Structure 1
């Protein structure tokens, strides 16, 4: 059995803090992180803590950039799943939603297409269902021309 990754444990603990404290703690984790898996996880989580959508987009972009340097062996060693490919639907769905909320439907559609292209990496389980549902919620909001935060957004 793999021991829990200490940085991912710290990240999970930071999520339980009040928003300002959570952002500060995650910022500290980001500053000291050199492992691309850690940087991806921290940025992806920190994006959801941002009160401003432009800041959320910047963190989501950092997460996507970091995942490019993560391989399946590293994901498995950290006990964070089996494949890096399973990270992509969430990363692209979040980016699609950021662009939608910022009034950039073309970029939102690009990332929704990438989310759909990568969704096959997800299992037929609660997490996979959650992500498939998130893609549909973002698509519906985009089709409606809404730039409002979705009630199902992680940071609400």
Structure 2
């Protein structure tokens, strides 16, 4: 099954990776206006997660990362696996908490940043032993270092 919304999110992600942050932001904003706060949780978590990455304002980035976390909380494994059979929602949380920790650090709320770091570390067992997990662990170590 092809998921047209996920294809559109991927197109926005490719814009971002290709250096067109403003274009990606516009693509994601348009998609969000069609998905909305009550849309499919898979679409919301993916879109909000990527939208946060193209925000220049740390407070706006935090808002999008909080939306991604809220969407993950309402996402089921069954829905995630309709998109890709290997997905489990619990595997989303280390990255989501990592991003929130970085957001709070940027905003100067080091207590909240440390709390998110610990939440991310507590959920690392949800990740496979692969390059993605190694990248998340490395990023968490970097965040810990920046937090002192």
User: RMSD of the alignment, in Å?
Assistant: 1.1
Q: Which position in structure 1 is the counterpart of 2:78?
A: 73
Matched, 1:133 2:124: no
Match for 2:12 among 11, 14, 38? Answer: 14
Match for 2:48 among 43, 46, 49? Answer: 43
Query: Which 4+ stretches in 1 moved above 4 angstroms?
Result: none
Q: Which position in structure 2 is the counterpart of 1:116?
A: 121
Task: Give the count of matched residue pairs.
Answer: 141
User: Which blocks of at least 5 consecutive residues in structure 2 are unaligned?
Assistant: none
TM-score for both structures, normalised by structure 1: 0.87
> Do the aligned partners of residues 86 and 45 (structure 1) sit closer, same or farther apart at CA in structure 2, a change above 3 Å counting?
same
- CA distance in structure 2 between the partners assigned to 1:102 and 1:43 by the alignment: 19
- Cα deviation 1:8-61 (Å, max 9, x = unaligned): 111111122211111111111111121011011100000000011111111000
- Cα deviation 1:102-136 (Å, max 9, x = unaligned): 11110001101100111110000011111111111
User: Which blocks of at least 5 consecutive residues in structure 1 are unaligned?
Assistant: 144-156
As a proportion of its length, which structure holds more helix?
Answer: 2
